[in-house]
């Protein structure tokens, strides 16, 4: 692949590219100088280091074919798993078969464009913040996928923490006698609301288990209704954690489970409202009013990755 371009001093004619590299598919977007979407593409993710690199290069070609807006100024990549705070190295991404991959270095060599790598949930948090107009003093983003993790944007900046662990609230226990979590603890939020844990307890593996549970619950299945109640309670607990620790004014739910939209939001709001009836303190926080979901198929993570791409080395 030939270098895409050298960044121009005239930034008005350049685009910033963001990619959300998921376990099965990759979304890529190009934003102009006004943060408007000028190109987008979705393609299947190929696994392994070589596969991921090829996926990214194919996505970049697809975007530049669509773009007449100008040169690529920066590339931001949202990756699942653990990304070093420096924005360069993917430490572990189990679903993609990656370990200790300096993705920034590899990509900068072939593209000659500044690259920044970020955890996908953190990128989605920044994207959700930007898509809401950048107005929230403190925004929490709760990703409900195979696992459960959060991101926070405080005063307009992504909060990464002292070692990139910020937002791992899926592994806070809400019941010491609860189900065993993959992390070794009991009763973690993720052990109730994570897609992987739900699939194991539902007895049918696969990404669609949570949707199946909701379908069955709505059809009257008692066990599914109980699981739905526990999912809603765990999501409500995560909303409480984000509000009482960080005092976020908004919690945006995203990820595959959040694609349930109102079917998820309604039982979560019901739990929060029941809890508020028992507690003046919780009632004063109006938690149910703070929660919303991303629309299904939202490009928040790719959008946020494009914004992360501006990050200085």
Told to check if 159 binds a copy of itself by CB under 8 A, we report yes
DSSP result, 64-116? HHH--S--EEEEEEEESSEE-TTSSEEEEEGGGTEEEEEHHHHHHHHH-S-EE
By CB under 8 A, tell whether 162 contacts a copy of itself.
Answer: yes
Dihedral sign for Cα 34, 39, 44, 49, please.
negative
Residue 282 binds to a copy of itself (criterion: CB under 8 A) = yes
Report how far residue 16's alpha carbon sits from residue 82's, in angstroms, rounded to the nearest whole number.
23
Least separation in angstroms between CB 242 and a copy of itself: 7
Smallest distance, a copy of itself to C-beta of residue 276, A: 9
Q: Judged by CB under 8 A, does residue 246 bind a copy of itself? A: yes
Is 118 an interacting residue with respect to a copy of itself (CB under 8 A)? no
Q: State the sign of the Cα–Cα–Cα–Cα dihedral 309, 103, 45, 4.
A: positive
The residue among 51 and 179 lying less far from a copy of itself, judged by its C-beta, is: 179
Give the full edge-to-edge strand order of the sheet including 157-158.
Answer: 157-158, 148-154, 138-144, 250-254, 291-293
Is residue 312 close enough to count as binding a copy of itself by CB under 8 A? no
Work out the burial of residue 44: count CB atoms within 10 Å of its CB; fewer than 13 is exposed, 13-18 middle, 19 or more buried.
Answer: exposed
Residues 163-182 that bind a copy of itself (CB under 8 A): 163-169, 171-176
136 binds a copy of itself (CB under 8 A): yes
Is 91 a binding residue for a copy of itself by CB under 8 A? The answer is no
Length, in residues, of the chain: 313
Q: Which of 94, 135, 244, 296 binds a copy of itself (CB under 8 A)?
A: 244
Cα-trace Rg, the chain:
20
The strand pairing partners of 19, in sequence order, are 28, 77
Judged by CB under 8 A, the residue of 220, 278, 297, 312 near a copy of itself is 278
Nearer to a copy of itself, 114 or 255 (CB): 255
Least spacing, CB of residue 244 vs a copy of itself, in Å: 5
- The three-state secondary structure class of 143 is strand
Residue 12 found at the interface with a copy of itself (CB under 8 A): no
User: Looking at 27-35, 65-73, 120-128, 133-141, which segment touches a copy of itself (CB under 8 A)?
Assistant: 133-141
DSSP 106-135: HHHHHH-S-EEEEEHHHHHHHHHHHHTTS-
Residues at the site binding a copy of itself, with contacts judged by CB under 8 A: 136-138, 150, 154, 159-169, 171-176, 183-185, 237, 240-249, 275, 278-282, 285
């Amino acid at each position: 692949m030939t270098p895409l371009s050298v960044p121009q001093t005239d930034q008005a004619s350049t685009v910033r590219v963001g990619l959300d590299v998921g376990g099965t598919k990759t979304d890529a977007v190009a934003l102009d100088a006004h943060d408007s979407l000028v190109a987008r593409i979705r393609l299947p993710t190929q696994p392994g280091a070589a596969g991921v690199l090829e996926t990214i290069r194919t996505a970049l070609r697809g975007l530049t074919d669509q773009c007449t807006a100008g040169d690529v100024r920066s590339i931001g990549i949202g990756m699942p798993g653990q990304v070093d705070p420096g924005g360069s190295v993917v430490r572990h991404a189990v679903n993609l078969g990656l370990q200790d991959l300096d993705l920034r270095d590899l990509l900068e060599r072939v593209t000659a464009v500044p690259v920044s790598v970020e955890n996908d949930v953190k990128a989605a948090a920044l994207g959700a913040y930007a898509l809401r107009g950048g107005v929230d003093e403190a925004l929490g983003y709760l990703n409900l996928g195979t696992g459960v993790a959060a991101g926070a944007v405080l005063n307009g900046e992504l909060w990464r923490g002292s070692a990139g662990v910020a937002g791992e609230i899926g592994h806070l226990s809400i019941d010491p006698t609860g189900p065993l979590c993959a992390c070794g603890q009991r009763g973690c939020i993720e052990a109730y609301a994570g897609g992987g844990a739900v699939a194991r307890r539902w007895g049918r593996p696969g990404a669609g288990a949570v949707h199946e549970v909701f379908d069955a619950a709505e059809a009257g299945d008692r066990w599914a209704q109980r699981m739905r109640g526990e999912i809603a309670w765990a999501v409500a607990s995560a909303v409480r954690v984000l509000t009482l620790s960080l005092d976020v004014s908004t919690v945006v739910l995203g990820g595959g489970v959040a694609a349930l939209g109102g079917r998820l939001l309604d039982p979560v709001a019901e739990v929060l409202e029941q809890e508020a009836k028992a507690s003046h303190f919780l009632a004063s926080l109006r938690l149910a009013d703070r929660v919303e979901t991303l629309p299904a198929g939202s490009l928040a993570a790719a959008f946020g990755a494009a914004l992360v791409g501006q990050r200085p080395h």
